[in-house]
Amino acid sequence: MGERIASWATHLFPIWSLLVGFLALYNPDLFLWYGKDAIGYGLGIIMLSMGITLEPGDFIRVWKQPHLVGLGVFSQFLIMPAWGAFLAWALELPPEMAVGLILVSSCPGGTASNVIVFLAKANVALSVTLTLSSTILAVFLTPYLTSFYAGHYVPVDAWSLFKSILFIVLFPLLLGVLWNRFFQNSARQVSKISPLLSVMFILLIVGYVLAAKSRIILENWPFLILSVCLLHAGGFGFGLCFGKIFKSGLAECRTLGIEVGMQNSGLGMALASKHFSQLPMVPAPCALSAVVHCIMGSFLAVLWSRKKLKNNLT
């Protein structure tokens, strides 16, 4: 019964995101108690929750679908940061807002994408593989790409970003994998509620950052909403189109679109809050991104789930 409730609550994640976003902007005091320092711990718990659901077979699967994984990672780290940087330039965003947009576009795929892929009746195994691959590579690529594309706006300490991602992402993830490897029974029990835990902490992080930056967001909402919506719309579109160009199956094309379009906004918020605390607008695009990509992903999931899948695109 408890597992069924957790599953139901997890699948309503997009609705919770929209509700939390509204409440955080309308009444910031509801979420300000969470605190900036708790963001990193919350994200660590999310990564730990992801780790305990993984088995050696999940890593082996990467080598069984090298072209799809390579295509997803290419789109995630080469196309998205460049797209984010282009939007920042084309829309003439203020430097702080530009850095935030580039930072979130340089983050790996988010765990929420796995839920959206499931709802869209796409390839969940591929989604998990892409999320895992991009998360591991993000330890090295996110700091470098943020520095490369945003360094001309403000100084970016790539080494400091690298250390943060190491402790926030990689270590908890590996701890979860080891837990599942050596203590399978307890890991299996915890994994039943781990998706719900992940959703709860993502919502707390989103709520806190939106609440803390509510004044800035409300004052700059036209540019923020436009830039973030274009960022994720481009991500969904690029992933879907690349899958079609390389003649992938329809389920795989949908998965690529969702994976590329949905970033780990929680990581972006954690990095922005820690490393750009002197620039109050940087976390704002990251926080808004968490709400926007869930709404877009949910819409696509509903649309695609009603269409019959075929084995190919013809």
pLDDT at site 106: 92
Token pair listed for 302: 């509903």
* Half-sphere exposure in the Cβ direction for 170 (13 Å, CA): 15
pLDDT at site 58: 64
Greater model confidence, 54 or 142: 142
- 244-299 tens-digit pLDDT: 888 778 888 888 999 999 888 878 888 887 788 777 788 888 888 878 887 888 78
Q: Which range in 61-65, 75-79, 128-132, 247-251 is most confidently predicted, on average pLDDT?
A: 75-79
Mean pLDDT of the chain: 81
Q: Region 170-194: what's the mean pLDDT?
A: 81
3-state secondary structure of 263: strand
pLDDT at site 6: 62
Residue 126, pLDDT > 70, answer: yes
Q: Residues of 265-280 as b/e, b for ≥16 C-beta within 10 angstroms? A: bbbbbbbbbbbbeebe
Domain assignments of the chain as residue spans, ordered by start: 33-305
Q: Region 294-306: what's the mean pLDDT?
A: 78
* Half-sphere exposure in the Cβ direction for 307 (13 Å, CA): 14
Q: Region 85-98: what's the mean pLDDT?
A: 92
Residue 308, pLDDT > 80, answer: no
Domain 33-305 CATH assignment equals 1.20.1530.20:
yes
d(CA 277, CA 127): 33
Q: 53: pLDDT confidence band, cut at 50, 70 and 90?
A: confident
Residue 86, pLDDT > 90, answer: yes
